[in-house]
Amino acid sequence: MSNTLFRAALDTSLLLCALGLLWRMSTWYRLRIGPDVRDLTLVPRLRALLRGFAAALFTRRAFHVGVALFLDVLLQRRLYRSDKSRWLTHLLIFVGFMGLLLMHALAAVVALKMFTGYESTRNPYLFLRNLFGSMVVVGLAFFLIGLRRRRRHTLHAPMRRPMDAAFVVLLGFVLATGFLLEADKIVSPQVFYRMAKEFNGSADPAELKPLRAFWASEFGVAFDDLTAPITPDLLRQGRAMHEADCETCHAGAASAFVSYPVSRVLAPLARVLDAGQAPTWLLYLHVFACFIGLATLPFTRFYHVLAAPISLLVNGAALGRSLSGAGRAVRRALALDACVGCGICDAHCSVAPLARHLDNRYLLPSHKLIATGELTRGRLLQPGHLTTGAGDAAWRAAEGAFGCTDCGRCTSVCPVGLDLDDLWQSGRADLARAGLTAPAQWVQARPALAWAESLQRDFWPRSFFDPDARDAPLSANRSSFSRCVQCQACTNVCPVVAYSTDPAYGVDLTPQKVMNLLRLGMRDLAMGSRMVWSCATCYQCQEHCPQGIRVADIMAELRTLAVQRLGAVRSHKELS
Amino acid sequence: MSSAAATRYDVAVIGAGMAGMAAALFAAERGLSCIQVGSGGGILFASGLLDLLAVHPVAEHRLWQSPYDALAALAGEQPGHPLARVDPTSIRTAFQSFVAALTSAGLAYAPLGDRNSNLLTSIGTVKTSFGVPLTMVAGVDALAQRPPCLLVDFRGLREFSARQIAATLADDWPDLRHQRIDFPGFEAVPEVYAVHLARALETRETRERTIALIKPLLGDARAVGLPALLGLTRSREVHAAFEAGLGVPVFEIPTMPTSVTGLRLLGALESVVSSRGVTRRQLSSVRALTFDYDTALLQLDGLPGGERISARAVVLATGRFSGHGLMADRQSVRESILGLPVQQPGARDAWHQDDFLDPAGHAINRAGLRTDEVWRPLDATGKPAWKSLFAIGSILADQDWMRAKCGSGLAIATAWAAIEQVAQPLRETQKP
Amino acid sequence: MKYALFLGCKIPSRLPAYAASTRAVLQHLGVTLVELDFNCCGYPARSVSRDGFVLAAARNLGLAERVGLNVLTPCACCFGTLRHAIALLDEDAALRVRITTALAAEGLAWSGTVEVEHILPVLARVVGVDALAGAVRAPRTGLRVAAQYGCHTLRPSNVARSDNPLAPTIFEDLIRLTGATPIEWPLRLDCCGDPLHGANALLSEQMTRAKIADALASGAEVMCTACPHCHLRFDGVQPPQTETADASIRTLLYTQLLGLALGLPAKSLGL
């Protein structure tokens, strides 16, 4: 291809890539996650960045950074610990791709400088190129197989963006065109004649006959006009010509252990391909696909190649949680980019069974991370969210965020070393500020009476069959509490009532009053009461009740009912 | 737990009211292996006072200052009454043993003599009882001598009004004054609960603040009466601190149930019973009870999969209606576990007198299980339902413990007597 | 003696010393512990969804059932929750059908054969107080210790079945055998306050501070815990005290106290 075109395309792609990177990386300094870093503007963050760099390079942290670079970025130790088969898959793609990148794509700046006598058609480079390419292909195959297997087993796969699929397709396309190009060049008579002209001086088929014979039998070129039988003598002649003009640059084609077999398939079509200028447009396709990949790098999966190592190195330098506020702010925003959506966190999540049961994927880390991004970009909450149906996604996200048990498994298995613990805590704080809180908070934010009135006004058809009988059997069944004689034993042994000496945070009812509400058929009023939601479930009440009423169990049931019922009416205008 | 299922206990006590607790305690003290099923929740209603016998005959509401004289009269006039069937020496021993056990668990009583004591109740009436906790003893003297005395109550404690007590006794005790104070730390809440206040008084700071609030109100008072909330597990210490801080005798007045005194008593009894090796199943109940020659088999619920217990003897201490030992529908009364025949009025309309407050009480309150001379309940043929099944406490027929003021006496005495039987070596002449 | 060790969510990330000391002590006593890929016991879901919490718990039981092991947990909250789920599955037939169907989709089953044990009763009864006392090499003589039972080791008693809920002695017995002196303190059976820290932080704090003050006033030098929630609460790692701290108290896990008494190196106990 023409040099000018090549350069122009390359420069454009690089520029687009750089602009895209600037844009993406700017979010690390713009996004604010967590109330503790809310007031940190751009300048402190940049200062933190510079200080971080300096620290990383010039203090003893440099050692840790180096270790992180070697173990975590190159050897992917974290991934190895979390999932060995995926580590293998990734390693294949990683090594294969880096090999192709450095040795093949950047041959002019890397390979030529490092290895004297580099020629792309010589061994070991020919072999290596095929090896690297096949590693990527095998890796991609493992990846796709693994993906299918995981999809079958988990109910909630990590969210796939269209760009992710596009990138895999692009990568496959680059490899396919690369192998096809090499295969076509192997069989192409046109290419042969061009090379012969350049290195032998002649393009005359008759003159080149011995060489052609040699190349046809040893290198697989598909001449369709090589009529005369190929005698050993002819081959000897051809070999002599080959040794004179070609050998210095050409290793045996069989070393191209992928392209050569492919070329055998293409051989019958050699003339057609030549007529259609296949070598040329395959090259264009191959190179432009690479350029497209480069230009779109900041917006595809490929971005992780930069974001993930930076994240790993930042963690290596951070030595745990000793980051300043600005450092934390950067690291949290960085996490949103560095996440590759691998879903290893989801596979280890302690509350994954609950996510399946509640059909709420926001309980799973990979989705929580995306929701955190949406929240901080102001996309999770719409104006007037609390009063419109659009708030449902926001509330689902909150349910997911507050359902987390902070077990820390996701953080320890994350291959990219994201500090998910910190992200969840700060995310929850942000949600709370936006009014999206855990049930215990949003219920207790309104008086029980307000909730009860709202429920009365809302749909609730009082049916003949109590729908709570299944999910809250004790509170739906009179016999569970009808024996209550209001003796106040439960109230007297309740520590929550004992310490409710300040009306500001004390409870509004007592356990025996809650039981009485049930006896009066006023379950709605009980559901929204502070007593039910400040119950410590310490079971003193149930242990002491002279009538054997399961007071604490009933309280727990009322809470589950409240989450459903009050959740359905919490967007009422009157309650905002 | 599987270890319970594998053991064959000497005795299984069904019920954890006063009778059940007494039976478990006595069994353990005699070295019998014992399992006790049922919640002690009913004891939460106790005042801490141990009645033996105070009223006889019930219809005349005649009060006795000597319970043993009353017992003698009872034995003469109502020989079928359960208390009349236990000899007084045993009753004396049983009470001593019971009270000694409570004292060992930190709940001390005044020494038991031959006399009943009179004390104030929280509504200003006078109750005659036998066993008096040490924290209430000064009230006995105060009621007898009627010196200038201050009664203190706490704002928000709805079950206790010092003013009401003083008003009720105004004619008899003119020097009885009353004052209301805010309990320190609870000033901001409209309603307070006795147990929480009792726990708070186990903190020195709260104690001192309360004493400081009362002291200026003493005037010439030579005794101070408070609702019974001077501590929960450390009532002796709290009571002593109040007496030291105020410089006068201090007495507790039993409050309405559910009360601090009930919780103290329950805690002490559970502690005593457990420490003597009784296996407890508080939140279980007996779903089925069967007998296989010399072994009783109890099927318990409350645990996943239920639990099977075997025992050499069974003591039925399941109480009356509130404890569900007896169940009534509109027609008749039945015993809830075995369906044993319940002695009861012949017709439904004979259950009650027309006047709810009839001094003689109501026939339904005297319904219950009949037993033979060794406390075994009878089946429909009039024979013991099982050779080693015993019935004690308020489930027994021919007694009206509320009106006779003999609840604890009935429980403790019959428990003692039944365990005596259980402890006897296996008898060859047992009728099946 | 072989158990599936259930650590729950709090211990691995927030209190690894409990895992370390549990393993160290049990290994020393000849108890084999097996690690399974357990999920959260379901406690946080109790206020959200009854079926959800039972399913989460039952899945853990199913995993243990598959390898034929009983579950041992050092977390009292997980212990109570798992046992509660068993009790509900036992009494609610419709629930049982729903849950076992859901488990079957994953190839798991619940037949009620798996027992869930908390570490205190296992030490006291399965290993045995006498056996433990005999193994003590470095008695903690003179150390005055407050036993923090927590709630779920004792209540409700038909679920916990560890000791008399109103007059337990099991924890004091275990402390005494290490040579330390268990003290009496009035609030010993009270909740530590941790379950409330999200719902009502001020109330929660009141409960915690009252317990610490009571233990100190009763002469305790150490608060001994058997649950990571109680421990983290008293250790001050959980929500900071908003007013001036009355006092704090040195907090020790029972496995750490026992480990020290058995002569195990402090480091292996996370100290």
Interface check C164 vs A, CB under 8 A: no
Q: Confidence class of residue B431 from pLDDT cuts 50, 70 and 90?
A: very low
Pair (C110, C17) in one structural domain: yes
Beta carbons of C202 and A533 less than 8 Å apart: no
Across the interface, which of C90, C164, C187 has its CB nearest the CB of B280?
C164
* pLDDT value of position A70: 83
Q: Would strands C116-118 and B307-316 be described as parallel, antiparallel, or unpaired?
A: unpaired
**pLDDT tens per residue, range B83-94:** 999 999 999 999
Beta carbons of A498 and B193 less than 8 Å apart: yes
Pairwise CA distance, residues C49 & A563, whole Å: 8
**pLDDT tens per residue, range A215-257:** 888 888 888 777 777 788 888 888 888 888 888 888 888 888 8
CA distance A500 to chain B (A): 8
* pLDDT value of position B68: 97
Chains interfacing with C (3 or more CB pairs < 8 Å):
A, B
Q: Which of C217, C260, C215, C208 has the alpha carbon at shortest distance from C236?
A: C208
| The two three-digit tokens of residue C184, written as one number | 């009496």
For position B237, which CATH number holds?
A: 3.40.50.1860
Beta carbons of B44 and A548 less than 8 Å apart: no
Residue B356 CB: number of other CB atoms within 10 A?
7
Q: Which residues of A touch C206 (CB under 8 A)?
A: 499
Query: Best residue in C161, C163, C169 to probe B by mutation, most B CBs within 10 Å?
Result: C161
Mean pLDDT comparison of A28-37, A408-417, B415-424, highest-scoring range: B415-424
Across the interface, which of A510, A546, A548 has its CB nearest the CB of B44?
A546
Question: What's the number of domains chain B is made of?
Answer: 2
In whole angstroms, how far apart are CA C17 and each of A336, A419, A538, B306, C266? 32, 21, 25, 37, 10
Which residue does chain A place closest to B193, by CA atoms? A492
* pLDDT value of position A379: 78
What residues 271-290 of chain B have any CB closer than 8 A to a CB of chain A?
Answer: 282-283, 285
Does residue C244 fall inside a structural domain? yes
Pair (C175, C110) in one structural domain: no
Pairwise CA distance, residues A546 & B262, whole Å: 12
CA distance A69 to chain C (A): 25
* pLDDT value of position A1: 62
* pLDDT value of position A531: 97
Q: Which domain holds residue C110?
A: 2-118
Q: Which residues of B touch C187 (CB under 8 A)?
A: 199
Residue A212 CB: number of other CB atoms within 10 A?
24
pTM here is 0.91
Question: What is the four-CA torsion angle of C265, C267, C268, C270, rounded to 10 degrees?
Answer: 130
Which residue does chain C place closest to B278, by CA atoms? C164
* pLDDT value of position A385: 46
Which of the two residues, A40 and B169, has the higher pLDDT score? B169
Q: Which residues of C touch A441 (CB under 8 A)?
A: 198-199
CA distance B191 to chain C (A): 17
Does residue C252 fall inside a structural domain? yes
Residues of chain C below pLDDT 70: 237-247
Q: Which residues of B touch C166 (CB under 8 A)?
A: 40, 266-267, 270-271, 282
Does residue B362 fall inside a structural domain? yes
Beta carbons of A492 and B199 less than 8 Å apart: no
Q: Would strands B295-301 and B285-292 be described as parallel, antiparallel, or unpaired?
A: antiparallel
For position C201, which CATH number holds?
A: 3.40.50.11810
Which residue does chain C place closest to B40, by CA atoms? C166
Beta carbons of C157 and A543 less than 8 Å apart: yes
Which residue does chain A place closest to C189, by CA atoms? A540
Mean pLDDT comparison of A75-79, A112-116, B219-223, highest-scoring range: B219-223
Pair (B277, B404) in one structural domain: yes
CATH number of A446-575: 1.10.1060
Q: What percent of chain A has pLDDT over 90?
A: 35
Beta carbons of B44 and A547 less than 8 Å apart: no
Does residue B308 fall inside a structural domain? yes
CA distance B196 to chain A (A): 5
Pair (B42, B20) in one structural domain: yes
Pair (C104, C65) in one structural domain: yes
Final residue before a domain boundary, out of C118, C152, C181: C118
Across the interface, which of C89, C158, C214 has its CB nearest the CB of B303?
C158
Chains interfacing with A (3 or more CB pairs < 8 Å):
B, C
For the residues of B110-174, what is the DSSP string, one character each?
PPP-S--EEEE-TTS-EEEESB-BGGGHHHHHHHHH--SEEEEEETT-TT--HHHHHHHTTTT-T
Structural domain spans, chain A: 1-75+324-437, 185-283, 446-575
Question: What's the number of domains chain C is made of?
Answer: 2
* pLDDT value of position A318: 64
Does residue C41 fall inside a structural domain? yes
* pLDDT value of position A275: 86
Mean pLDDT, chain A, rounded, equals 85
Interface check A540 vs B, CB under 8 A: no
Final residue before a domain boundary, out of C90, C118, C146: C118
Does residue B117 fall inside a structural domain? no
CA distance A353 to chain C (A): 6
CA distance A448 to chain B (A): 18
What one-character DSSP code corresponds to residue B392? -
**pLDDT tens per residue, range A530-556:** 999 999 999 999 999 999 999 999 999
Pair (C187, C157) in one structural domain: yes
Mean pLDDT of B165-182: 95
CB distance A431 to A375 below 8 Å: yes
Beta carbons of B203 and C112 less than 8 Å apart: no
Pair (C169, C206) in one structural domain: yes
Interface check B203 vs A, CB under 8 A: no
Location of structure tokens 């090796």: B277
Q: Which residues of A touch B200 (CB under 8 A)?
A: 498
Q: Which residues of B touch A510 (CB under 8 A)?
A: 193
Interface check C111 vs A, CB under 8 A: no
Beta carbons of A357 and C42 less than 8 Å apart: no
Mean pLDDT of B303-320: 95
Pairwise CA distance, residues A318 & C132, whole Å: 44
Does residue B201 fall inside a structural domain? yes
Beta carbons of B196 and A492 less than 8 Å apart: yes
Q: Does residue A46 register a pLDDT over 80? A: no
CA distance C188 to chain B (A): 11
Pair (B85, B166) in one structural domain: no
Q: Confidence class of residue A330 from pLDDT cuts 50, 70 and 90?
A: confident
CA distance A117 to chain C (A): 55
Pair (B221, B272) in one structural domain: no
Q: Does residue B429 register a pLDDT over 60? A: no
Beta carbons of C166 and B40 less than 8 Å apart: yes
Angle among Cα C45, C50, C56 to the nearest 5 degrees reads: 55
* pLDDT value of position A309: 86
Final residue before a domain boundary, out of C118, C140, C167: C118
**pLDDT tens per residue, range A130-177:** 999 999 999 999 988 888 887 766 655 666 677 778 888 899 999 999
Interface check C157 vs B, CB under 8 A: yes
For position B89, which CATH number holds?
A: 3.50.50.60
* pLDDT value of position B349: 92
Interface check B44 vs A, CB under 8 A: yes
* pLDDT value of position B95: 98
Which of the two residues, A237 and A315, has the higher pLDDT score? A237
Mean pLDDT of A281-295: 91
Pair (C9, C99) in one structural domain: yes
Beta carbons of A556 and C47 less than 8 Å apart: yes
Beta carbons of B195 and A501 less than 8 Å apart: no
Pair (B158, B97) in one structural domain: no
Beta carbons of A488 and B41 less than 8 Å apart: no
Beta carbons of C90 and B305 less than 8 Å apart: yes
* pLDDT value of position A34: 83
Beta carbons of B188 and A502 less than 8 Å apart: yes
Query: Best residue in C37, C41, C47 to probe A by mutation, most A CBs within 10 Å?
Result: C47
Beta carbons of C165 and A444 less than 8 Å apart: no
Q: Which residues of C touch A432 (CB under 8 A)?
A: none
CB distance A242 to A215 below 8 Å: yes
* pLDDT value of position A249: 83
Q: Does residue A322 register a pLDDT over 90? A: no
Q: Which domain holds residue B65?
A: 2-104+264-423
Pair (B131, B92) in one structural domain: no
Which of the two residues, B430 and A338, has the higher pLDDT score? A338
For position C42, which CATH number holds?
A: 1.20.1050.140
Across the interface, which of A487, A488, A501 has its CB nearest the CB of B185?
A501
Q: What percent of chain B has pLDDT over 90?
A: 93
Pair (C256, C158) in one structural domain: yes
* pLDDT value of position A573: 59
CB distance C190 to A495 below 8 Å: yes
Which residue does chain B place closest to C91, by CA atoms? B304
Q: Does residue B428 register a pLDDT over 50? A: no
Pair (B181, B283) in one structural domain: no
CA distance B243 to chain C (A): 21
CA distance B303 to chain C (A): 6
Interface check A539 vs B, CB under 8 A: no
Q: Which residues of A touch B199 (CB under 8 A)?
A: 498
